Amino acid sequence: MTVPATSAKESAQARRLVQEVAQRHFGEKATTVEECTGGLTNSVWRLRVSQGEFIVRTHANATKITDYLKEQWAMDAARAAGVPTPRVLEVGNFADGRPYMIAEHVRGIEGTEATGRLAIVEQLGRAAAKVHTVRTHGFGPVFDWSGNTLSRHETWAGWLAHGFDVEARLAILLKQKMIDRSQGARLRRIGAEIARWRKRPVLQHGDLRLKNVIVDADSGQLLSLLDWDSCVSSPAPYWDLSLALHDLGIDEKEAFLAGYGMKLRAFEAALPFVRFFNMLNYAHHVSHAATAKKRDRLECFRRHLQGGLDLVLV
């Protein structure tokens, strides 16, 4: 859905910047420049030149270029492993310092709008398995894509403690009564076990959901896996599974795992770790809701974390 720019002045300024990029990169003026999401703070544009259609993303924050560089590395690596991703043509800066990314435009529809969801979810599982064949170095969001080794966590336990910040997340969940003390103690035990892992890290997409895939409207074939800005380096497959399975129904979970190639017994063994990351991923959302005094939202999170919507006896 197209979101209008925050003002006509901002839209016109962003349009000029996009045309500058088209002229510099393609050597010609774009015949079509269409705004997809609004404003200069975070804007996405579709442009057409003689070589085809492309997407230009830009952001008001100059540091966003690091995210663009990370996405470029991840998409190139995933595509080499057999995962369909858009090809990034260029990452750079406008004259005013604003970062941008030029990538191929993939025609199709968002996975959430497609029919045959089970088949699409199974394809997403297969794509996840291929992503997890990409070896990486370091842990967390700073890995091979960055030459800044000082910011890289070289140990898994170090990133869990200081990057992911397990104790701070547990403290939030306990303070807001999302979990009780016995649950907190159990999560700490699982976290201690996870911290002892000596598994090699691999690329993890970080948001494997239907909103981030483009599929062919007629065949349902997965054409592209998008939005790699949340990708991390982590032992597979627990991080991605905790996020990918969160929004899926039972049948869809089974389809994803079938596509991934994970048998039920293996998933049962992985389940404590998947639950660990799933529950701790709520912490920042809970903190924001508490700060904004959104009591209804907090109650919704509490219900989720305490199994209030589960349909089976536990």
**Mind listing the pLDDT tens digit for each residue in 37-91?**
755 567 899 999 999 999 999 888 899 999 999 999 999 999 999 999 999 999 9
Task: Render pLDDT for 97-151 as a digit per residue (tens, 0 to 9).
Answer: 889 999 999 999 999 999 999 999 999 999 999 999 999 999 999 999 998 888 8
Q: Which CATH number is 8-104's, of 1.10.357.10, 1.10.10.10, 3.30.200.20, 3.40.50.10490?
A: 3.30.200.20
Residue type at 60 in one-letter notation: A
Q: Which residue has the tokens 């992985």?
A: 270
pLDDT-derived band at 4 (thresholds 50, 70, 90) equals very low
Q: What string of DSSP letters covers 44-62?
A: EEEEEETTEEEEEEEESSG
The contacts of residue 1 (CB under 8 Å, 6+ apart) are none
Q: By three-state DSSP, how is residue 212 classified?
A: helix
Domain boundaries, the chain: 8-104, 109-305
Contact between residue 298 and residue 289 where contact means Cβ atoms under 8 Å apart:
yes
The residue among 307 and 176 whose pLDDT is bigger is 176
Output the pLDDT for position 204: 98
What's the predicted TM-score (pTM) here?
0.91
Task: Please give the Cα distance from 122 to 242 (Å, whole number).
Answer: 16
Residue 153, class by beta-carbon neighbours within 10 Å (0-12 exposed, 13-18 middle, 19+ buried)? Answer: buried
Output the pLDDT for position 38: 57
Output the pLDDT for position 313: 67
The edge-to-edge listing of strands for the beta sheet with 99-104 is: 32-37, 42-49, 52-59, 99-104, 88-93
Tokens of 284: 């920042």
Report how far apart, in Å, the C-alpha atoms of 235 and of each of 99, 102, 200 are.
31, 30, 6
The residue among 310 and 246 whose pLDDT is bigger is 246
CATH number of 109-305: 3.90.1200
Output the pLDDT for position 277: 97
Contact between residue 30 and residue 15 where contact means Cβ atoms under 8 Å apart:
no
The residue among 303 and 43 whose pLDDT is bigger is 303
Buried b (16+ CB within 10 A) or exposed e, 80-105: ebebbbbebbebeebeeebbbbbbbb
Element (H, E) at 223: strand 222-225
Task: Render pLDDT for 171-198 as a digit per residue (tens, 0 to 9).
Answer: 999 999 999 999 999 999 999 999 999 9
pLDDT-derived band at 5 (thresholds 50, 70, 90) equals very low
Contact between residue 44 and residue 86 where contact means Cβ atoms under 8 Å apart:
no
Task: Render pLDDT for 235-263 as a digit per residue (tens, 0 to 9).
Answer: 989 999 999 999 999 999 999 999 999 99
Q: Kindly give the residue spans of alpha helices, DSSP state H, lying in 27-161.
A: 65-80, 117-131, 156-158
Q: Which residue has the tokens 């966003």?
A: 64
- The residue among 24, 104, 122 whose CA lies nearest residue 56 is 104
- CB atoms inside a 10 Å sphere around CB 9: 10
Output the pLDDT for position 40: 53
Output the pLDDT for position 3: 42
Res 222 pLDDT > 70: yes
